[in-house]
Amino acid sequence: MIWIVSWRNVWRNKLRSSVVIIAMSLGVFAGVFTMAFYRGMANQRLKSAIKTEVSHIQLHTPAFDKVNEIDNYMDSADVRLAYIRQQAGVVNASKRLIVNAIVNSAEKGSGIELMGVDPEKEAEVTDIKEKLIAGSYLEDLKRGKPIVIGEKLAEKLDLKTGSKIVVGILNVSGQPVYYQYRVGGIFKTVSTVFDESTAFIRYDDILQMTGLPEGSAHEIAIYMGDTQDSSPLANLLKKTYPGLDVKEWREIMPELGYLTETMDVYMYIFIIIILLALGFGIVNTMLMVILERIREIGMLMAVGMNKLRVFMMIMLETIFLSLTGGVLGIITGAWVSVIYSTRGIDLSGLYGKGFAALGYDSVIYTVIQPKMILGVSLLVILTGIAASVFPALKALRLNPAEAVRTDV
C-alpha cells in the first residue's frame, strides 16, 4: 500500500515531477553517451596503434631496444618466426630490419624510420596495405625498387606514385650508401606523425643496403587478432628467449596501457559528478514537497501512521523520481549510443587535424558495454537512496500537534 501511495504522491504536482525527471534523464543520458563516446575513441586508438604501429608483442635485442643502431640485430630470425607462428592465438609474425634514413626528392629531404619487411607476412601483421590511398603495396615496378610512404611525407616532399626518391643510410660498416627508389604506394593512417616518419621497403632490398647477413632482424612483430591480452604469450617468449627483450604493446606505448586502465575510472568520476548535482536538485525538490505538505504529514502522524511509514513514504517518493528519470536516461543514452556505434560521429570538419596529430580517428564509433549500463544503473539507485535520506529525516522531525496547526 505504501508503494502505491508514494507513486501517486509523485504525480500530485505533475509539472514539478516532470521537470525533475527530465533533468535526471538528460543528465544520465549525457553520462551514458559520453562514456560510450570516449570508450569508442579509446578502443579505436588502441586497435589502430596495435594493428598499424606496434603489434601486440615485439622482440628485439636488448641493445637495439636501448640504442636504435644497425648492428644491434638478432640472428636466426626465421627459426624464431617458425616457433612463434605455432603458438596459440598468433595470427602471424613478421621480421623487420629498421634503420634511420634520409629520403630526398628533387628539392626536399626528410629524416624517417625505414622498415624492411616481408610484404606477404607484414600484410597480416599490420594494416598498412589496407591504408593505401594510391599505388600498390611493395609490388614489383617496371622501373626501380618500390618504397611505400605516408601521405604526410608525400606532401612534405612533393611526391606521388612513380616519383623518384633517394634513400641514404649508414650500412653495417658505418659507410653512407644511397639507393634510388620509386614511390610504389602512399598510405594514410589516423596518425599524421606515423605517416610523416615511417616508410616501408622490401626485406631483401634493405638487406642489400645494410650489408647485414641473411636471416637477421632488428625486430619481430607479433599480431594476435582482436585480443588485448598478450601476457601469456609474452611470458612464454621471455622464458624461451631469455637473451631477447620481449615487450607487450603496453610497454612499447605506455600511454595506451594508461588509457585503457584509467578510462573507466575517469568516466565513472564524470557521471558521479553529474549524479551529485542532480541529487542535490532532487533533495531541494523533496524539501519543498515536505514544506508544502507539513499539515498533511502531521495529520497522518496524528491519526496513527508511525514514523517508519512516513520515513518510507518520503524515501520511496524520492527514489521513484530518481529511478524514473535515471531509467529513461539510461535507455535513451544506450539507444543513441547503439545508433552511432554503426553510423559513427564524424568530427573531421572540426577536429580532424588535431585528432590525427594525436593518433586518433576523426570518425568515432561509440561503444556501449553491459558493465557500463550496470554501473550507471547502480549509481542511479544509490543516488536515489542517498537523496531520499535527508528529506525523509526532515519529515520525521515534524511535531504532529504543531504540524496540523500549520497553515500552508
Give per-residue pLDDT as tens, 206-242.
999 998 998 899 999 999 987 778 889 999 999 999 9
134-181 pLDDT, tens digit each? 999 988 887 889 999 999 999 999 999 989 999 999 888 888 999 999
264-282 pLDDT, tens digit each? 777 778 888 888 887 888 7
> Is residue 335 scored above 90 in pLDDT?
yes
Q: Output 82 or 267, whichever has higher pLDDT.
A: 82
**Mean pLDDT within 92-108:** 90
d(CA 222, CA 219): 10
**Mean pLDDT within 6-31:** 81
**Mean pLDDT within 186-207:** 90
d(CA 248, CA 250): 5
| Per-residue model confidence (pLDDT) at position 401 | 54
| Per-residue model confidence (pLDDT) at position 274 | 81
Other Cβ atoms less than 10 A from the Cβ of 166: the count is 14
**Mean pLDDT within 309-320:** 79
Tell the burial category of 73 from Cβ atoms under 10 Å away from its Cβ (0-12, 13-18, 19+). buried
98: enclosing H helix or E strand: strand 92-104
| Per-residue model confidence (pLDDT) at position 347 | 76
Q: Residue 132 — pLDDT band, cuts 50, 70, 90?
A: very high
Q: Are 152 and 158 in contact (CB under 8 A)?
A: no
Percent of the chain residues topping a pLDDT of 90:
27
> Is residue 13 scored above 80 in pLDDT?
no
Q: Residue 7 — pLDDT band, cuts 50, 70, 90?
A: confident
> Is residue 117 scored above 70 in pLDDT?
yes
Q: Are strands 109-117 and 92-104 parallel, antiparallel or unpaired?
A: antiparallel
Q: Residue 47 — pLDDT band, cuts 50, 70, 90?
A: confident
Q: Are strands 92-104 and 164-170 parallel, antiparallel or unpaired?
A: antiparallel
- Output the CA torsion sign for 115, 118, 121, 127: positive
Mean pLDDT of the residues in the chain: 83
Q: Residue 405 — pLDDT band, cuts 50, 70, 90?
A: low
Q: Residue 311 — pLDDT band, cuts 50, 70, 90?
A: confident
Query: How far separated are the first and last CA of the chain, in Å rounded?
Result: 27
Q: Are 205 and 139 in contact (CB under 8 A)?
A: no
Q: Residue 400 — pLDDT band, cuts 50, 70, 90?
A: low
Q: What's this model's pTM, rounded to 2 decimal places?
A: 0.75
Helix/strand/coil percentages in the chain, nearest 5: 60, 20, 25
Name 317's Cβ contacts closer than 8 Å, sequence gap at least 6.
Answer: 6, 9, 10, 286, 289, 388
| Per-residue model confidence (pLDDT) at position 355 | 60
**Secondary structure of residue 215 in the 3-state scheme:** coil
**Mean pLDDT within 125-138:** 90
